[in-house]
Amino acid sequence: MEKQRNISEFILLGLSYDQNVEIFCFVLFLFCYIALLAGNLLILVSIRCSPLFHQPMYYFLSHLSSMDICYTSSITPKLIGDLLGGTKTISYGNCMLQLFTMHFFGGTEIFILTAMAFDRYAAICKPLHYLLIMNRTRCHLLVLAAWAGGTLHSFPQLLMAIQLPFCGPNELDHYFCDIFPLLKVACTDTYITGVLVVANSGMVALVTFVVLFVSYVIILFSLRHHSAEGRRKALSTCGSHITVVVLFFGPSIFAYLRTPASFPEDKIFALFYTIVAPMFNPLIYTLRNTEMKNAMRKVLCQTLFSKEVRN
**Residue 1 belongs to some domain of the structure:** no
Burial class (CB in 10 A: 0-12, 13-18, 19+), 36: buried
**Residue 22 belongs to some domain of the structure:** yes
Highest mean pLDDT among 182-196, 223-237, 281-295: 182-196
User: 145 lies in which domain range?
Assistant: 9-309
**Residue 247 belongs to some domain of the structure:** yes
Whole-number mean pLDDT of the chain? 84
Least confident of 65-69, 165-169, 229-233, 288-292: 229-233
**Residue 173 belongs to some domain of the structure:** yes
**Residue 205 belongs to some domain of the structure:** yes
The backbone region for 273, taken as left when phi is positive above 0, alpha when psi lies in -120 to 50, beta otherwise, is: alpha
CATH code at 280?
A: 1.20.1070.10
- pLDDT band of 49, cuts 50, 70, 90: confident
Q: Are strands 9-12 and 171-172 parallel, antiparallel or unpaired?
A: parallel
Number of domains in the chain: 1
* Residues 38 and 283 sit within 8 Å (Cβ to Cβ): no
> pLDDT digits over 6-26, tens only?
778 898 888 877 888 888 989
* Helix H or strand E segment including 147: helix 136-162
Q: Are strands 171-172 and 89-91 parallel, antiparallel or unpaired?
A: unpaired
**Residue 46 belongs to some domain of the structure:** yes
**Residue 19 belongs to some domain of the structure:** yes
* Residues 47 and 210 sit within 8 Å (Cβ to Cβ): no
- 86-91 average pLDDT score: 82
**Residue 218 belongs to some domain of the structure:** yes
Q: What is the pLDDT of residue 3?
A: 44
